[in-house]
Amino acid sequence: MRINKLAGALAIVGLATISGAAFATNGYFSHGYGMKAKGMGGAATAMASDTMGGANNPASMVWVGDRLDIGIDWFSPIRSAKREGGNAPFSEDSSEDNFFVPEFGYNKMVNPNMSFGVSVYGNGGMNTTYNQGNTLSAAGVCGSAPTNPLCGTGNLGVNLEQLIIAPTFAYKLNQNHSIGVSPLIGYQRFGAAGLQAFGQISSDPSNLTNRGYDDAWGLGVRIGWQGRVSDTVTLGAAYSSKVYMDKFDKYKGLFANQGDFDIPENFSVGLAWKAMPALTVALDYQRINYDGVDAISNSSRQPGCTAAPPAGPGVGSGCLGGSSGIGFGWDSIDVWKLGFEYKYSNALTLRAGYNHGDSPIGSNDTTFNILAPGVVEDHVTLGMTYALSPKTELTVSYMHAFEDSVSGPATNPYFNVGGTETIKMHQNSLGVAYSVKF
């Protein structure tokens, strides 16, 4: 009963504080989950360091003991877009560069071989806001007055936030191997503004833009295994199914399949090697299958839509919101995470890491991804944990994602804006977590 009450309290706090959270590191997933993992480039599949096993590898939870972790991450993505040449040039930075992302975890050993816990974390998201009035069109392409970068009225942008609540059961098969399972309770909310010009290629223009926030709940599962195969090597593997979400009814004229926006399937394998008594090296490989979600992966040049007059609707299954509707054109990506953990003293542990994830966006899909410029690939991280007492500790992590960009022709075939578009982004984050061992 005490576990259930605490898990419920953590979930409520997570839902209350997710507002404003935004990610865009490995596609739109975070580079890591848990402050210790974030300081190691996200490498965590073969590690057992804290109570974020529901996000990384459920099998790890049975090795961490009775524990509580509470953290918050300041995240600052710097996004910009421009269009050069053509009939409607612009250059603008997205505003709202500061976000705060919470995380919570609790674990209880039921007996020496079994644990129950919960991980609550921001899975990922995306945010952009571009102001009206910076795009002047020639020949009336976007109308007779200044508009936003995609020819709409008012500010242009999207905000996607995803939270996962992961109750976790883990069990030791023997003294070296464990398995675990985490039902994934997903919550997400979304809002879009300034997309009026796309009404002519939307199957439902009344549910395309400026509808405020809509939210959705869903279910999935993550399973994992962790095993110590020698005195110095531990291996791990985890698989997360797609999280099947309710549809965004207010945006069924934007996302394919009438507002369907599931959280993609992903899996990871990892190795942790104790190179020296004080030094552990961890390496993870992760695959994020964005191509399993039509709203994300369908091409922004999807065939099968006949444009209507500006008020719409468009005709055909390839229109926005249709059964094979236009998407963001994201590819599935491979992510490599390398981390180092060095126990400097009994009180101080130091960390560093590197994370490389493919950009999911190609040059033919720049127009739609002005809204979602998830192009960064390379991240470096630093972190540390300091023991305040035998039972409490403080962890800090820092991440910098180097600037990346993608350029391509203005590809929307329904507006003759022409020119070349460039989207780019770099990021910084700084997080802190407080932990208590019981």
What would the pLDDT profile of 115-174 be if each residue is shown by its tens digit?
999 999 999 888 999 987 655 544 456 765 678 888 888 899 999 999 999 999 999 999
Residue with tokens 């490498």: 43
**CA pair distance 295, 390, nearest whole angstrom:** 49
Q: Determine contact, residues 167/120, Cβ cutoff 8 Å.
A: no
User: What does the pLDDT read at residue 16?
Assistant: 45
pLDDT tens readout for residues 256-295: 999 999 999 999 999 999 999 999 999 999 999 999 999 9
Q: What is the DSSP letter of 7?
A: H
pLDDT tens readout for residues 306-340: 888 777 799 999 999 999 999 999 999 999 999 99
Residue with tokens 């009963």: 1
- Sequence-distant contacts of 130-134: CB under 8 A, at least 24 apart: 130/81, 130/92, 130/94, 130/95, 130/155, 130/156, 130/157, 130/194, 130/370, 131/92, 131/95, 131/155, 131/156, 132/156, 132/194, 134/90, 134/91, 134/92
Confidence bin at 20 (pLDDT 50/70/90): very low
38 pLDDT higher than 50? yes
pLDDT tens readout for residues 360-408: 999 999 999 999 999 999 999 999 999 999 999 999 999 999 999 999 9
pLDDT tens readout for residues 101-113: 999 999 999 999 9
Domains along the chain? 2-437 (2.40.160.60)
Confidence bin at 7 (pLDDT 50/70/90): very low
User: What does the pLDDT read at residue 412?
Assistant: 62
User: Between vectors from CA 430 to CA 356 and to CA 370, what angle results, nearest 5°?
Assistant: 55
Which carries the bigger pLDDT value, residue 93 or residue 9? 93
191 pLDDT higher than 50? yes
pLDDT tens readout for residues 204-251: 999 999 999 999 999 999 999 999 999 999 999 999 999 999 999 999
- The bridge status of strand 67-84 relative to strand 90-93 is antiparallel
**CA pair distance 37, 280, nearest whole angstrom:** 13
Is omega for the bond preceding 313 within 30 degrees of 0, making it cis? yes
1 pLDDT higher than 60? no
Confidence bin at 3 (pLDDT 50/70/90): very low
User: What does the pLDDT read at residue 370?
Assistant: 93
User: What does the pLDDT read at residue 23?
Assistant: 58
Q: Which two tokens stand for residue 272?
A: 């942790």
One-letter identity of residue 197 = A
User: What does the pLDDT read at residue 384?
Assistant: 98
Mean of per-residue pLDDT scores for the chain: 91
